[in-house]
Structure formats: C-alpha cells, structure tokens
Structure 1
Amino acid sequence: MVVPDAEESTRFWSEIWDNSVKHKKNPEWLKDVEDELAGEGVQEDIRSAVDNFRPITCLPLLWKLLTGIIAEELYNYLEEAALLTWEQKGCRKGSRGTKDQLLIDKMILKNYKNEIDGLVNTVRIFSEAIKMEFGLSKCGVLIIKRGKVVESDGLRMPDGAMMRKIEESGNKYLGVLEVDGIKHDQMKDQVKKEYTRRVRNILKSKLNGGNIISAINSRAVSVVRYGAGIIKGTKNELEEMDRKTRKLMTMYGAQHPKADVDRLYLKRYDGGRGLLGVEYCVQAEVNRNNEGKVFSCPSLRCSGCNLFTKNSTQAEVNSLDKYFRASEENMLKEVNISSILENKKHEQSREDIQKSHKERYENKGLHGQFHKATEKIKSRNLRKRVYGEDMDSSCRMCGAAEETVAHIVSECQKLAQKEYKEKSDKWYTHNPEKVLESDECKILWDFPTQTDKTLEHNRPDITVIEKNNKKCLHIDPACPFDTRIERKEEEKCNNYCDLKYEIARMWRMKEVEVIPVVVGALGSVTKDFEKWIQKLDLGITAETLQKPCLLGTARIIRKVLDMK
C-alpha cells in the first residue's frame, strides 16, 4: 500500500473542494420518495418510530473519520487540563458506563426502597430545570406490600403525568430484568441461553481455528462479562458453562475429544489457544485479588476483549472492585461501601488460575513437554503473528504463501520438486527397478498402465499382480500434512476407481483393489489405516511407517529454518 505524503494529500483535498460540481435538478428518485412520504398514514408511522432513528448512520464514512481525529485531540486536551468529571461516562475512556448505572440501581433497590418517590420527584425537578425531557415512556412503577405485588394504575406525577405500571414479569433496565430487585434466576437462564446461542453460531461459521477463539472471546464471553458483579452466580454454574463450551467445540470439530483442556485456556504465547474461560472472565472482572496488578489479555489476537490493559491508569483499571474504589463519583463510592458486588470472593486470583493451567499443561508428556521440545520451530508466521516480530511472514523458499509448519512440510512448491520425495535417508537412496517379475508375482514401480480408454490417473506408485490368484493391488502411499490425511485417503481411492475397472476387464483379474497408505507429516494416521496395511499381509505396523515420515519432516524443517 502506497501512503501519500503531506503535499500529495493537500493537493488531493484542495482539488476536491475547489472544483465545482453540478448536481442534477429534480431527479426522478427524489420525486418518487416525496410521493411515497405523502401517502396516507406514512407521517404518523414516522413520528411513532422516531425514537428508533439513528441519524449518525446516514453520515459518510469520511465524516466519521475526521470527527474521530478531532475528538481524539479534544479528549487529550480535556484530560490534560482535568476538565472531564467522573460523571461524564459517555466521553471518558475506560468508563464502565452501563455497569455503573446497573450497580447504582441495584444499590437503590436494596438500600433506598422507601425513598424512591422522593428520588423520582427530585429527578423530575432537575430535568425540568435543565430543560431536558424526563422520559416517562422508559419509566415504570411497581407497588409491593408485605412482599406481594399490588395492582395499580401507575404513579401520578406532581405535574399530572402518569407513569405506567410494571407487569409482574418484571421490567428490563439496561438489559437486566428486575422487580423489587434483580431477578437473578431468570437472568442467569437468559445469559446461558444467549451465550450458548452465540457460541453455536460462531462454530457454525467458516472461520479458522484462531478466529473462532477470537470471536468467542469478543462476542460470546462479553455476554457473561456484562452481568459479572451484578447477577448472582456460583462457581459450579460458571464451570458448567465452560464445559458446555468445550462440548460444543468438540461437536462442531473445533476441539478434539481428547485435546488438552489446560492448553485451551493458555495464552497463545505459551503454546495455548487463548480461549477466555467463563469462570476466569468473571473472576478477572470483579476479583479483589487483582488489586495492584496489571495483566495482558490471554489471547493475543482477541480483538474484542478489553478486560485487561497494559498501562493501568485512573480511568483504566482491571476489576470492578478496584474501579469503584478509585472512582471520585459519590454514587460509586456508595456502591463500594454497600458491598453489593456479586462473585467478589474467590479462592484463586486470575493469575493463580493461569499459572495452574500452565503448570499442569507443561507436566503432561504428550502435550506440554512436546511443546517445549518443538518451541524452537519458529516459522516466520509464528514469529510475526504470535511473537509480534516486525518481519515478512511469507515462505523463504517460494515466497508464495505464509511460512507455517504445514506449508514447509507439505505445501511448498520449491520443496515439492525434490525434498518431499526424500522422506528419509534409507528411502531416497534406494532406487527400485521399474519392473520386477517372477513365476508367481509381478511388481510395477511408478509404471504407467496402458488402457483402451484414456485415463487421467493411470500411474499408481506400486502395482502388485498375483498371477496364480488373479489379484491386483494398487498401493499408493502419500504423506500430506496431518489435517488432510482423511481427504487424501479418499482422493486416492476415487482417483484410481476407473483404472481398477479397466484393469479387471483387460487383464481378466478376479479382484482389483486400491490400497492408500497415508501417513501425516507429523505421524497422524486415519482410523482405517490398520485395515489398509493388514490387506498387504506384510507384518508392517503403523510405527514402522510413521518413523521415516517423522525423520523426513524433521530433516526438511531443519534445512528450511537454518536458511536465512
């Protein structure tokens, strides 16, 4: 991308504003709009729906960019001059906004039930004094006597206006259902359903593994984080949501059934996948143990998670508990004193949970210890995307794609010309003859088969003909990357399907069979692998074939990564 310099930018914009533009007068589309708006009942519908209008969406993108730049400069000035008060939540960075209002509302419902009438009247008088609409349409009243809801027509205000009554099912305030207090059980059910729905929709998408984790962190976990500290929840309920997440990931193929649980929640930098656990997230939001500590987000690629900051300031703090104690707003100070923050007491801090995950993972032989042994395999993609190095991530051999381990061991065009055929020293020094024949058997090595019909795939790697039994075997080995072994196995069977029928007809064979021998570059095999090698009846085990593949992969990786 070419970035214009200051002179080019100035010339571009000056030409836009200096050149006059002639607009078409009375266009047809404008007349059609006017006729439609003049229709019967249209104006009434517009006036009734005016609360849902969002004029900012009609503004051009360029206007939003320019105002964003100006707003940033204004904010920096107001911050330096200390002109922004704590109550300016819509303007102040790092403000909790709706979370503040929910906790203030919860405190009022708990401590000031008998004073609500007076508070409502005070708000009305204040609203009239500043010439601001009170907003009765968004308010409601519920009368409760001796713990039971009493029927009423609403509440008449001193100015004669009527405040509507709230139904027994409750009233939603900033997304939280409440009556005389927050309805915790109903809200927990709603949060669980919405969280599960979002996770399921993300897993149904076509995103890759890394982006699925980022999407869950930013879109699904945020639903739970919003209610942290407000809605009561037990540790068992949070753990159950984490188990549900792992179950859904397994169902949709985003997590192997036998995959390590600790690695799922580890930072990507430490070899994990960077998923934010629900229990972990709630603790980080409200835990008092976070005081005085600054953390970074577990997922380095999590674009939507702002739980943790690198530089904690007065306006950007880590937990709700610390946020309220640092606030200078009187109402928030009272929230802190009233001790209404839910889920605040935990046995472990956020740092302790992450540390325990890491210790358990590193002590597992086939997981953490394997990662330690392979952490020196730092491809360019890993160094740029995970470790944050400023470098070109394209392959140093072909330059045609991102340099990942998968690309190096099975996809690079330059290496495909020679290296992939030399998977181990013993194999590539052996040069078999094209044809070997005896009285009982005939073996063809990489030999094209002539047929009456022209076939695209007529050259299997090994063809074995048993003369006495009238049996022919097409043995086709392959060593793709481990994520593609099943697809490669199916591809081998389909490619030689026509050849199989042609040979059975031309050579008068009783049985012709295609045997794919597919081993992943890192040693993985399919569930049908044992069945295929048993048909060879040679006493070969999976380990015998996996070893040369792994040795060849190690040789290729060493060779590529040693190059500058």
Structure 2
Amino acid sequence: MDDLKLFAESKEKLRHLLQVVTTFSNDIRMEFGVDKCRLVNLHRGKLVDADSFRINERDEIRSMAEGESYKYLGFLQLKGIHHTAIKKELQEKFLYRVSRILKSFLSAGNKTKAINTFAVPLLTYSFGVVKWTKTDLKAIERALRVSLTKFRMHHPKSATERVTLPRIEGGRGVTDIQALCAFHIQQLWRYFVESQNRHEIYRTVCGADHGFSALHLAQEDYQLNCDVKTTDEKIAAWKLKELHGTHPHQLAQTHIDKVASNAWLVRGDLFMETEGFMIAIQDRVIATKNYRRYILHEEVEDRCRKCNAVGETIEHVVAGCQALAEAAYLGRHNAVAKIVHQQLALKHNLVNQYVPHYKYLPSPVLENSCVKLYWDREITTDVLIRANRPDIVVYDKRMKRVTIIDIAVPLDRNVQSTFSTKITKYHDLAEELRQMWHLEGVRIVPVVISATGLVPYALINSLEELELRNELHSIQKAVVLGTCNTVRRFLNHHNTSN
C-alpha cells in the first residue's frame, strides 16, 4: 500500500504523525512523494483555508481549497467522496470499455466474457464505497443494452431478462450489475459487523455510520434498494411475456433437452450479430408483417410476401412457407444431412478426408467390402411404396443390417410429432427391404432438430445410435446459421421490393 491518510487534532500532532511516516519510509528505502501530498483543514465539518504545511526547510505540503478534489485509492474526494462525479466518470469509462469490446473481432461468447472481466470490474471496485442508487444502476444497465443494440448484439425488443440470464438457461450471460452491487455491499456490511468484537475501531465505525457510507453499518440487516432477481425469478418473468415467453415454454417441454438446446449459446462461437438475430427470432420480435400489424399496430396487410397464402408470422417464415421450401429449407436440411453423411463415410472408411459440410459433395453411392452408403437415392421395391427415398441409407454387408436415416428441421412445436411421423413413414419400406435383401434387421433413425436449435431427447438418442453424439454441436450450429440466413434473405427481399 502506498496511499496513506493521516488524521490529527492539530498541526503539532499531524507533524508528529508525518515524522513517523517519514522515518519509516526512509528506513525501508521508500521514496516519500511530498509533491503528491495535500493538506485538508476541517473545523466542525467545514473546510477552512490554511497555509501550506512545511515538513522541513525544502519540502512543504500544499493546502486544498473548496472545489478541489484529490484522488485517494481511485476515488475523488475532499471532505468526503464526490459520489456524483465518481459515478459519472465510472459510467463513462465502463461504456467506453464496452464499446471497445464490441468493436473487436471476438465471438459473441468471448465478448460477453470480456465485458464481465474487463468492463464490469470498473464498477465492482466502487460497490460499497460509492453510494449507488437503484436508479443509477438501472441507468447503467439500460446504457449497456443500448450499446449492445447499437452493435447489433441485442435486439431492442428482445426480452431484457435474457441479457443477464446465464447462457445455460438461454440468456446472454452478462453480469447482473444490480445483483453484483447488492452482493458486494452485503459482504462488506457483514465483514464490518462481524468484526466488532475484534477491535474497538470497528464498533465505533459501525455505531457512527447512520447513512454516512454506502454500507449503513448502524442499520441492522441493511439491504440495498435494488431490483435484484434470482435466476428462477427472471425465467418466470420471461415466461409471463406473451411473445418472448413462447421460447422458454418450449424449452421447458418434457421431450426437450434444455442443456443441449442452449449449448450453442454456451459455446458462444457465433458472430455477435448472428447470436443477437437468433435470440430475436426465438423472442418473436422480427419485423414480419404479422408483428408489424398486431404488435406495432401499423396499417399493413399481413399476408406472406412470398406465398401470399397465410399470415406472415415468424413461425411461417422459419419453417412454414411453401415458397421457401425448395431452396431455403432444403439447404438447411441438406446441411444437417451432409454432416451426418460425411461422418458416417469417415467412420466406415468410405472417404479419408474431412471437409466443412458446406463444401462437402456427397456421392449418391459409396461402397467398400463392408458397407454401402446411399445419399438421397430412390430404392426400387417389388411393391409400390411411396416413401422410398430416405435421405441416407447405410447397408452393413457383414451384419446384414440396414439403417434408414431421415432428416427434418421443423418448427419448435412440431418436433415430437415429426419424429413419430418419420418412424411411421418408413415402416413399410423397412419391412420390404427386410424381405428383399434378406436382412437380419432394419432400423429407422430420424434426425430431428427444431429450426431454432431446440434439441429433443430423441435426437440425442438417434445420434448415439449412429455413434455420432459428438456431432450434435455441428448440427445445431448449421441449423441456427441456416435459419438466420433464411430470415435475413426473406426480410431483404421485402426491402428490395420496396
């Protein structure tokens, strides 16, 4: 510690204290910085002008006047701490650091970590020392969200609860500043109160602090007046929102793996614009015609601008528009299918080099002495079977077994029914193949993931059955990117036509 305050009743006593410090500093070869020192003369709580305080023949300490301030341990003060000036300075520095982080080329997850470790500690240091009010802290959080919106990391209409919710719960993982402030104040308050039995100075300070400090030590069980909510309370508030609440309700379904569904957020490896856009899609605040008409109350026709058949809701755009089926939806579907096909080909030594799925061109048939792998091929049968073109078929020659794999990327609410439909759809084909190829067994393995990245337990079971459990993150990322690309193109088509 190199910052020290000396308190004395008179100049003579102050001189004595200063001599002790000077002697000690000289003994340990520490330079005594007289030029940085200042004198404050107080009489009954009021600042009194005083002459400079001379230490020796060549060194003197200048006296401070009204309106001046001195930075001690990082805080501007004179008779007391300049709370207003410090809060303004800290907020400006905090937002400056946030903007520097958001301008960087870090991924969305790393930008969140950087905010929590590089920007938030600026404020943390002041908690318990500077008197922050509930209004002050809310203003900082609001300014933070404005910055996130400015750099397209957060949609202005998205659920505010998600900003500070942990990523594993579907949030963005930014530190809750109000909760952090309340925690630090409570910890400091407990330290001083519990230390009263150790020394008289603690008892004196606690007894005298009737609101003089931010800790209010004389008040039993002091709590900062902040709007502090637990994670469960934030999730409950999120669920209560008519639009935003749809996604958390889907996450809470018994057939949905919540941890796996939020894994793309936990990894945080997307660009911040993409992550913010997908969050806006999940929160249903994208400016579709339906949203503009019924939420923003604009006078627009709400029929889909592409198919002109039904209302243009975000669900319709994501996975329900017939005009997008042959291009956008098929491309997203094929991205998942390519990941599965390539990994199966690598597993069975049918290909020997991995390439990114968007560069991968599956061959209609891959074969060696052990396995034959089909890609989107019609299977000829003795009897007419309409569903005879699954996405992928694996024929194990040695075990005399066939695996029929079909991919689907439906809406959140249709995930469970789609899985069942796929099983039923290929039941006849499976029985026909069993008889035609004299197989020991045929299994149908649907690979179903929702268009917004929700992962049903059935998908995990399917991937484990295919021994491709590690590919879940690649599949989820491909779907999230495909959905964001589809919605962006859809909205850009509107802008171009205008």
**Normalised by the size of structure 1, how large is the TM-score?**
0.43
Flag the structure with more relative contact order, 1 or 2, with Cα contacts below 8 A and sequence separation at least 6.
2
TM-score by length of 2: 0.48
